[in-house]
Amino acid sequence: MEKAIVLYPSEGRGHLIAMVELGKLILKHHPSFSITIFVLNTHSASTAQHVASSTAQYIAAIEAATPSITFLHLPPISGVPSTLFPPELMYLVPRLNNPNVHQALQTISHTSKLKAFVIDFFCDAAFEVAANLSIPTYYFFTSSASSLAVFLYLPTLHKNLDKSFKDLNHMLIDIPGLPSIPASDMSKATSDRSSKVYEYFLDSATHMAKSNGLLVNTFELLERNAIKALSDGLCVPDGPTPPIFCIGPLILSCNQDGDDHQYECLNWLNSQPSRSVVFLCFGSMGLELFSAKQLREMAVGLENSGQRFLWVVRNPPTDNNDKEPDLDELLPQGFLERTKDRGFVVKQWAPQAEVLSHGSVGGFVTHCGWNSVLEAVCGGVPMVAWPLYAEQKMNRVVLVKELKVALAVNESEDGLVSAAELEKRVRELMESESEAGKEVRERVSGMRDAAVAAVKGGGSSHVALAKVAELWFTSTSTSTC
Ligand code: UDP
């Protein structure tokens, strides 16, 4: 019987890509495995049509190039209220899929030896399904080791604090392996202990601690302190910590986007001087879109910075995520004309991984999504950290204070980032005489080399993945399907 691994990513392009890259790497170590990737079939409001179609092309390209990877599309779930807070929705959809997951795992087990079930933390509901079937279950944590430390430490914080993070304002929260995090910078999903999503997070933290192992998309040199705290068991003080495997950075390999678009912005980058362009792009989810006012502030800041820029612009929140932005209407009058010799504005979507690995890009203004961070690190591109949602405010603290690969953008009380603030940070990041910029440029360049070394034969991530793949290959555990 064939040896099989099942991977279960959650919704979100970043989560899917990281899981696919994991599948490809497992096959490098053991080409005889068959890999099945479960794909959630959702039509959430946060997934705009251009993202959905780009993801479908991506899946088709992977299937064509890698026959040992099969995608199993789970049936659509009806009646999910799309108005739910996004993380709650991301937990709920897999939960409603449990019967389908149960059936799919059983079907696979009839023809293969199921060696491991690797799930995203949002797919935590499947942990119990797998436990009932005695399938060894691992979590693939597609965010940072620092976020994982917070996650695993959440039950301890829950016990030690008597208030929600949202009521602790700027009180500093101490988590093993991390700089102190203001309570107001903790993930919005965990800010209210009476919420459903907080309960989901607590449950997943508890399950993760009981799983067979945790794979993390990071590498040892990047997050040394957080990884050490995790491995030393400091984040789960009340019990054993499962083995931690830092196997990253797993990022989208360039040119494998599955998208056969000829992106004009790449041609434009070819004509720009080395490391001269600042790239601005804020994730795939279409959550927390910028207001029209914020877009205008950004335009003024960029224009006044005098720097070359490549900027991905989306519409402010509307009923129709797919409507193309009307740049003439959104941006200040004459902006496009005045900046045409040094700026390029892309509507909706850019091939980010390729952009960040292009030699003309010298800085990145990012929402601090972990895949974006890793893509920047792999391109040796320093960042301005402008968090928008999920755990991104916490990522900003870690990127600025601990990893020292980013400068923080400061928003005003109402959340707006002024033109002057953006101009200041972009100048600091890009201008050669800026000391702050020099520090993050040097630091990220060292991290790029460390990332290359980590995934090479004998590197820390290569060794960790070889270890876990071997464990799966040789394990004798059999499911009760
Ligand atoms: N992305 C892209 N083009 C865009 C926006 C995003 O290719 O215009 C990709 C980006 O390269 C990354 C992923 O989408 O791989 C976003 O993942 P991340 O974890 O950074 O953020 P999320 O979208 O999950 O908030």
The domain made up of 2-253+454-474 has a fold known as Rossmann fold (3.40.50)
Q: What is the pLDDT of residues 26-60, one digit of tens each?
A: 999 999 999 999 999 865 544 566 667 778 888 99
Q: Which strand (E) or helix (H) includes residue 444?
A: helix 435-455
Q: What is the pLDDT of residues 229-281, one digit of tens each?
A: 999 999 999 999 999 999 999 987 654 555 556 789 999 999 999 999 999 99
CB distance 423 to ligand 1 below 6 Å: no
Atom of ligand 1 nearest to the CA of 15: 24
Our answer to whether residue 462 is catalytic in this structure is no
pLDDT value of residue 15: 86
Please state at what angle helix 460-474 crosses helix 435-455, rounded to 10 degrees.
Answer: 30
Distance 371 CA to ligand 1 centre (A): 7
CB distance 369 to ligand 1 below 6 Å: yes
Pocket of ligand 1, candidates 50, 352, 358, 395: which has the most ligand atoms within 8 Å of its Cβ, to mutate?
352
Helix, strand or coil, per DSSP, at residue 20: helix
pLDDT value of residue 42: 66
What's the ipTM? 0.99
Q: Do the domains at 2-253+454-474 and 264-452 have one common CATH topology?
A: yes
pLDDT value of residue 319: 61
Pocket of ligand 1, candidates 372, 383, 388: which has the most ligand atoms within 8 Å of its Cβ, to mutate?
372
Our answer to whether residue 414 is catalytic in this structure is no
Domain boundaries, the chain: 2-253+454-474, 264-452
Under CATH, domain 264-452 is a member of which superfamily? Glycogen Phosphorylase B; (3.40.50.2000)
pLDDT value of residue 322: 66
Query: CA nearest 184: which of 419, 374, 387?
Result: 387
User: SS3 string of 255-308?
Assistant: CCCCCCCCCHHHHHHHCCCCCCEEEEECCCCCCCCCCHHHHHHHHHHHHHHCCE
**DSSP output for 73-132:** EPPP-----TTS-HHHHHHHHHHHTHHHHHHHHHHHHHHEEEEEEEE-GGGTTHHHHHHH
Distance 175 CA to ligand 1 centre (A): 27
CA distances from 419 to 15, 71, 411, 423 (A): 32, 45, 11, 6
pLDDT value of residue 430: 98
Distance 107 CA to ligand 1 centre (A): 33
Instruction: State the 10-residue block means of pLDDT for the chain, 481 residues long.
Output: 96 86 95 96 60 82 94 89 84 94 96 96 97 97 96 98 95 98 95 96 97 98 98 96 97 58 90 98 81 97 98 85 85 97 95 96 97 97 96 97 97 95 98 96 98 97 97 81 63
